[in-house]
Chain A
């Protein structure tokens, strides 16, 4: 026994120990390296001085002071959070039932059709998609025409170049990212668990509340995080459908970079990153126990 154990990690065993770092290495170097470098540049830039036409490498907190004292920026941050939260909430409200229904489809062809339908937004370019929504949502567009002929509204409603338009288009783009994590967890769930619940006396509604819902929670949670992050960072959709009236941080960042005000752009980027990371971290802490319970598998 000792003789067999003594040589320890030679040959094959040592090779195995190298596999994980070997495979992960390139990704870690690429992502962490670039991310950390970029963050460093960002931090340095945020502390530079901007004369109005060019940047001077002189340590100052002017950009931070401007961002945190001018109420305009607080308004932008608020608008951004409101947009991301609204979009995420609508995506979950539509996405969960969608995923649930797709998970119940039995015929393979219908499953494929449903997948194509849900994932179709990702097959179009974001610009084309945004212009498409502009046409549909405009004063004389399809939606307004339908609302008017059915007498749901007296005159055309404003659906583009405002918060509503951006939210509608964002929900459309982000829905696949909401549906997918929920769908994958629902498909992985052992159907016998729902049968066991019914067998023990639960109606369909009780089975959903006591078994399906708690077990699908990790999927819902992942979907919410993904959707929220993507909504916070959306650029093209707010740009085209907001028509300048919906201001969010990614738009400001781009604007300031064009104006050569890199320090302010850097501050805005830092604020955006901090907001997203804080939201992720806080929700992980908040839902830790529920996730741990639902994540346990037999």
Chain B
């Protein structure tokens, strides 16, 4: 994309935000690259919106610094920042028509009239709403309002576009369509997008990188694949998708593997930063486990084997989800690709098996 020497679009350095006794954001450091689609993912109240508002200038960090394109931005007010924000409820101006909404920022910059007209038309074309100039806001559908909000922000050609859960109010189908469209728009304009959401699917669908937040801190930053397949904490493992978690203790560390013991069972896991005797959690994604018949042959590599019983069979379309109980009672979950084969019956005894590298050791 851009040269490695270019300063990051957004750089947060050890940022804290306190509201009286509430420590809303704790020691957050983020480096968002030029042209990146970056998501802040976390449950409500995790501080992700506060981080976004510090980037946009509506909040000032209590401690730490915010840099925009390499410039210290802590004290720059929102109206002088090279960022634009798409609000959760869009905040389109109800007293102005579509044209005046989009032209709002351009007029404040005192651009010549014909240039404003050209840019507004360009922005409307970008969001596929050419010809809507004189519509009033209340005449638009939810999806159209969404696009006008995007146009109103992007027409100013901001260095960074900030989005605060803008798709939350849309129904599922429209939301999925807008996710793809947002991603396409971002490809076309090449602007840095910082997207706040509590929806993991949304974050995985659109983002180049995701920062998973919880209780005001960033738990992990990485590509969607990294945070999903290599979660670093128990929170990340459970917030993004389903997981089988085993409370375990490290027995020994071998070459290229870690030997664990969980509920009396020996388990083999990939190498981890934990010494013998340490308490850890082993995380195995439900689509990585295989269900084997208790009597059949063991496929090569499936070293981890746990006796379990099927408690529930849920057909989910593309896959079948099995709710199981391990021999010692712990709930397990397995997702099996629906390839037309007959499903295992409820109550059947099975072996839950996975390869060494399907597991991830969480040291918390």
Contacts and interface: CB of A to CB of B under 8 A. Distances in A.
Nearest to B102: A200
A195 B87 contact: yes
Given A195-B58, A199-B56, A210-B104, A294 B79 contact: no
A201 B87 contact: no
A90 interface: no
B79 A199 contact: yes
Interface string A204-235: 00100011001100000000000000000000
Contacts of A190: 89, 91
The residue in B77, B95, B152 that gathers the most chain A C-beta atoms within 10 A of its C-beta is B95
B335 interface: no
Given A192-B87, A201-B108, A297 B79 contact: no
Interface string B336-350: 000000000000000
A41 interface: no
Contacts of B152: 200
A160 B137 CA distance: 52
Given A196-B87, A199-B85, A200-B156, A215 B105 contact: no
Contacts of A203: 79
A200 B87 contact: no
Nearest to B84: A199
A146 interface: no
Interface string B76-97: 0111100111011111111100
Contacts of B188: none
Given A201-B79, A201-B108, A210-B104, A196 B91 contact: yes
Category for how many chain A residues contact B: 20 to 34
Interface in A132-186: none
A201 B91 contact: no
A202 interface: yes
B136 interface: yes
Category for how many chain B residues contact A: 20 to 34
Tell me what chain B mostly uses at the interface: helix, strand, loop, or mixed. Answer: mixed
B145 interface: yes
Nearest to A290: B95
A259 B328 CA distance: 102
A221 to B, nearest CB: 14
B93 A211 contact: yes
A50 to B, nearest CB: 54
Nearest to A191: B91
Contact of B94 (A201, A210, A215): A215
A190 to B, nearest CB: 6
A136 B94 CA distance: 47
A293 interface: yes
B108 A202 contact: yes
B138 interface: yes
Contacts of A197: 93, 104
A214 B95 contact: yes
A202 B79 contact: yes
Contact of A294 (B56, B80, B95): B95
A70 interface: no
Given A296-B138, A298-B145, A201 B58 contact: no
Contacts of A298: 90, 92, 94, 137-138, 145
Tell me what chain A mostly uses at the interface: helix, strand, loop, or mixed. Answer: helix
B95 A200 contact: no
Interface in B183-200: none
Contacts of B84: 199-200
Contacts of B91: 190, 192-193, 195-196
A199 B154 CA distance: 12
B109 interface: yes
Nearest to A194: B91
B94 A200 contact: no
A193 B84 CA distance: 14
B138 to A, nearest CB: 5
Given A190-B89, A298-B137, A206 B108 contact: yes
A199 B78 contact: yes
A173 to B, nearest CB: 32
Contacts of B78: 195, 198-199
B51 to A, nearest CB: 16
Contacts of A192: 87-89, 91
B93 A196 contact: yes
Nearest to A203: B79
B87 A297 contact: no
A219 B141 CA distance: 27
Contacts of A297: 94, 138
Contacts of B88: 192
Contacts of B93: 193, 196-197, 211
Contacts of B89: 190, 192
Given A192-B87, A193-B93, A297-B138, A200 B104 contact: yes
Contacts of B77: 198
Contact of A201 (B92, B145, B156): B156
A200 B109 CA distance: 9
A77 B84 CA distance: 56
A200 B95 CA distance: 16
A127 to B, nearest CB: 44
19 contacts: A192-B88, A195-B58, A195-B91, A196-B91, A197-B93, A199-B78, A199-B83, A199-B85, A200-B104, A200-B153, A201-B80, A203-B79, A211-B93, A214-B95, A294-B95, A296-B94, A296-B136, A298-B92, A298-B145
Please name the 3 residue pairs, one residue from A and one from B, whose CB atoms are nearest each other, closest first. A200-B105, A192-B91, A196-B91
Given A200-B153, A201-B80, 16 more contacts: A192-B88, A195-B85, A195-B87, A198-B78, A199-B58, A199-B79, A199-B83, A199-B84, A200-B152, A201-B108, A201-B109, A201-B156, A293-B95, A294-B95, A297-B94, A298-B90
Interface of A: 190, 192-193, 195-203, 206, 210-211, 214-215, 293-294, 296-298
